[in-house]
Amino acid sequence: MPVTITIPTPLRQFAGGQTEIEVNASTAGEALDQLTSTHAELRRHLFNDQNALRNFVNVYVNDEDIRHVSGPETPVKDGDTILIVPSIAGGSVAQIDNLRVEDPQVNNLRHDDLPMLSNEEVARYSRHLIMPEVGMTGQRKLKAASVLMIGTGGLGAPLGMYLAAAGVGRLGLVDFDVVDASNLQRQIIHGTKDVGRPKIASARDRIQDINPHVEIETHETRLTSENALRLFVNYDVIVDGTDNFPTRYLVNDACVLTHKPNVYGSIFRFEGQASVFWAERGPCYRCLYPEPPPPGLVPSCAEGGVLGVLPGIIGAIQANETIKIILGAPDIMVNRLLLFDAWRMRFRELKLRKNPDCPVCGDNPTIKELIDYEEFCGITQPSQASEPTMEEITATELKQRLDQGDDIQIIDVREPHEYEIGQIPNSKLIPLGQVLNRMNEIDSDRETVVHCKMGGRSAKAIDALQRSGFPGKLVNLKGGITAWSDEVDPTVPKY
C-alpha cells in the first residue's frame, strides 16, 4: 500500500534532492528498506552496521514515534506519512540536590513577594496588563523571573530582544564569539557597527536599549562541564540557542541535574525544531536523541546555510514558551516536538515520550554528573599514537604546486549555487551527493585535491571515495575555498 516518506533537508542530497518519496509497504521498516534500496547512500545515514536504526534518527508514522509502537514492525496503511527526524546542528553546586522546580510559577513566590511595577513599567507593559492571561500578577512574575540564554547568535538574537521587551527581570547571556559580517543576515541583535565586537557586548547594548529595566548578567565564556551547574542554578529557565551537539547535550544534562526547564530550538536551511525538555514533567533531549550523529554527518549552518528569517521564527517560539513557563501557562510544549518548514510554510507537531531507560532522566540514571561532551560526541583530538589523518594540503602549498606545473586535478564538492559564488580556477564541480555515482569522472592516474567551503564536506567525499575503492591519490584542501580566498586570491568572495 502506498505511503509517503518525508525526507529532511540534511538527507535530501542522498535522495536525489527529493522532499517526499512514495513507496509501497506494510510496515515502517519495509518502507525504509525500499527507500534505502533505491537510494543506497541514505542507508549508512539511517542504519548502523547491525542494520538497526541509528539512535540520532527518529522515525514517526504520522505523529507517533515507532520506538513507542512496534519499532520497524509498526504497521502502515494507505495514505500514512513516515517522517524521518534526525538531529539538526545554531546559576551553587552544593544546593543542586535540594533545588527543585515544583511549580511553573517562578521560585514559588507568593503574590505578596512579587516585585511591584513602577508607573513607567505599567505604561511600558500596558498591552500585557490588559490581557487576563498575564495581568498585573503575570507581569510581576516576569519581573521576578531570571532566564539564562546560551548563545546570542541566530536563535539568541530574537530571543533576547523579545524576553527583554516582555519584561523578564534578569537575563543571563553566555557567549564567547565575536560578530562576523556573515552573522548579520540573521543575527538581528547585532549591527554593521558591531562587526569585530564580542557578541555578548553587542547583545547587552541592544537589550539595554530595548528595556533599561532588565538586569543583564554577561558570562563571556564557553559553557563547559566545569561551569554549567554553577551558572544554571542561579536562573529559573535555561534557553538553548547553541549550534553544536556537545553543548546541546551539556545543556540538557545540566538542566536535568539542576531541575531546570530547557527551552530547545534548532535550525538548518529552511527547517526548524522547537520543544521544552523538562525532566520533572516529561522527556529530556536524550530521550529524543540518545546519542549524537558522528562528527561531520550533519552539516553546520556555515556549511549548509540557513534562511535569515528562520532563526527569528524559531527564536520567537522559544521566547513564547519561556514566557509561558514563567506565567504558569497550562499548555507549554512539554511532550511535544514542533517541526517547521519555512520553504513550504508548514508546521507539524509530533508526540514525545519519556524514555524510562534514559541514562540521565530515566528510572535508573547512570549519568549523575556532567561528562566530557566533546568525547561523547566523538570530537576528540587525536593522540600522537593514533593513526594519521587523511592527507591535507594548504591553499598556499596548492598554489605553489600549480604554479610549478604539477599535474593536479581539483574537485569541488560544493553545491552548484555555491560554485556560482566563486571558484578555484580549473576546478571541476561534483557535488558531495553525486561524488560516488560520478567517480568515473575523476582521473585516478592524477593526484586529486578535493575541496569544499571549509574542508568538512571534502573530507567526507574523500572518505566515501576511499571506502568505495577509488585507487587514486586524494588530498583534502585544508580550510577549503575560504582558505584559498584568505591565502591566495582575495578576489574570490567569502560567504
Catalytic residue flag (residue 358)? no
Residue 384's DSSP bridge partners are none
461 alpha carbon, distance to own chain's centre: 23
What residues contact 221, with CB distance under 8 A and at least 6 apart? Answer: 174, 176, 227
Catalytic residue flag (residue 452)? yes
Strand pairing class (57-61; 81-86): antiparallel
What is each CA distance from 157 to 106, 152, 181, 209, 268, in whole angstroms? 24, 6, 15, 14, 16
Catalytic residue among 255, 284, 301, 361: 301
Largest Cα–Cα separation, the chain: 81
Residue 277's DSSP bridge partners are 262
- 3-state SS track over 401-421: HHHCCCCEEEEECCCHHHHCC
Determine contact, residues 241/274, Cβ cutoff 8 Å: no
**Residues 92, 112: Cα–Cα separation, whole Å:** 26
Catalytic residue among 255, 361, 377, 452: 452
Strand pairing class (262-268; 170-174): unpaired
- 3-state SS track over 98-165: HCCCCCCCHHHCCHHHCCCCCHHHHHHCHHHHCCCCCHHHHHHHHHHCEEEEECCCCCHHHHHHHHHH
Q: Which residues are catalytic?
A: 301, 452
